[in-house]
């Protein structure tokens, strides 16, 4: 079946602009995660959805970043007033709900954001 | 605070040589530990998790709680093992949901 997909694959924008990054999780997966990977670093957690609600948004760096998942499937990560430091690969992952404990996260290919 | 440390950015070995990718962690509690792998032009994928105690593609990793380590080992490296490897943990504080990653180690296996 289809894996996690993310669009666009690349996004170049200018400092101060607004961007939206989209994630389509694996069908039926109730949990969805956003991570950010800067150059030379591992992925860094941003926000986690269980269904439509954000279960944990402690990783969002500031109030320029927010994410939605209105119907419990597709999610959009929104960044306002972009800064050069926001340049990174933004990864999305999804997992099935299951027994308590860790459920394997399946990652998308990422969106490479470049802020000029 | 939870932290994962991978001290080597790059590990270069010859085919057939043993491999050990180091991972140390800091967490107060009982985390789950994982190794993720990213092959060239592919997406990040789970390689193995400590709780399953499996050998995947010849790789094993043992959780050493005393040394807070979870090193990844393979006795005989193959060229197709060349990839970026990330150690990660998930803890009860997040309901074992979110992952904390190390910075990764690039493994390069030469013929």
Residue A28 has pLDDT above 80, yes or no: yes
In chain B, where are the structural domains located? 3-110
Q: A32 near A93, Cβ under 8 Å?
A: yes
Residue A8 has pLDDT above 70, yes or no: yes
Nearest to B90 among A43, A44, A102 (CB): A102
Mean pLDDT of B15-41: 93
Return the percentage of chain B with pLDDT > 90, whole number.
75
Q: B40 near B55, Cβ under 8 Å?
A: no
Alpha helices by DSSP H, listed for chain B, are: none
pLDDT tens-digit map of B35-83: 999 999 999 999 998 888 788 899 999 899 899 999 999 999 999 999 9
> Tokens 């269904």 map to which residue?
A51
* Contact residues, chain A, for B97 at CB < 8 Å: 31, 33, 48, 55-56, 102
Question: Rounded distance, CA A33 to CA A48, Å?
Answer: 4
Return the percentage of chain B with pLDDT > 70, whole number.
100
Q: Give the domain B3-110 fold.
A: Immunoglobulin-like (2.60.40)
Question: Rounded distance, CA A21 to CA B37, Å?
Answer: 24
Higher pLDDT, A21 or A102: A21
Q: Residue B103 and residue A45: Cβ atoms within 8 Å?
A: no
Q: Which residues contact A110 (CB under 8 A, 6 or more apart)?
A: A6, A9, A37, A89, A90, A91, A92, B43
- Domains of chain A listed by start with CATH number: 5-98 (2.60.40.10)
* pLDDT for residue A44: 96
> Which residue numbers of B have CB closer than 8 Å to A's CBs?
4, 6, 9, 32, 43-46, 49, 51, 86, 88, 90, 94-104
In the sheet where A5-7 sits, what is the strand order? A5-7, A19-24, A75-79, A65-68
Closest-CA residue of chain A to B30 = A101
């Amino acid at each position: 079946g289809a894996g996690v997909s993310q669009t666009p694959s690349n996004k170049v924008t200018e400092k101060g602009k607004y961007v939206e990054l989209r994630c389509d999780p694996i069908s039926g997966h109730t949990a969805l995660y956003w991570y950010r990977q800067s150059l030379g670093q591992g992925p860094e957690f941003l926000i986690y959805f269980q269904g439509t609600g954000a279960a944990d948004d402690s990783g969002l760096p500031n109030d320029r970043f927010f994410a939605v998942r209105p119907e419990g499937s597709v999610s959009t990560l929104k960044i306002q007033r972009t800064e050069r430091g926001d340049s990174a690969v933004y990864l999305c992952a999804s997992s099935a709900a299951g027994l308590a404990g860790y459920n394997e996260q399946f990652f998308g290919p990422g969106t490479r954001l470049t802020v000029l | 605070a939870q932290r994962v440390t991978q001290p080597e950015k790059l590990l270069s070995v010859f085919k057939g040589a043993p491999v050990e990718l180091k991972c140390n962690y800091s967490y107060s509690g009982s985390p789950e530990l994982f190794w993720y792998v990213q092959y060239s032009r592919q997406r990040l994928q789970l390689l193995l998790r400590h709780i399953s105690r499996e050998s995947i593609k010849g790789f094993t990793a043992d959780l050493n709680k005393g040394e807070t380590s979870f090193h990844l080992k393979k006795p005989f490296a193959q060229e197709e093992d060349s990839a970026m490897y990330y150690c990660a943990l998930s803890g009860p504080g997040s309901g074992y949901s979110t992952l904390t990653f190390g910075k990764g180690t690039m493994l390069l296996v030469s013929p």
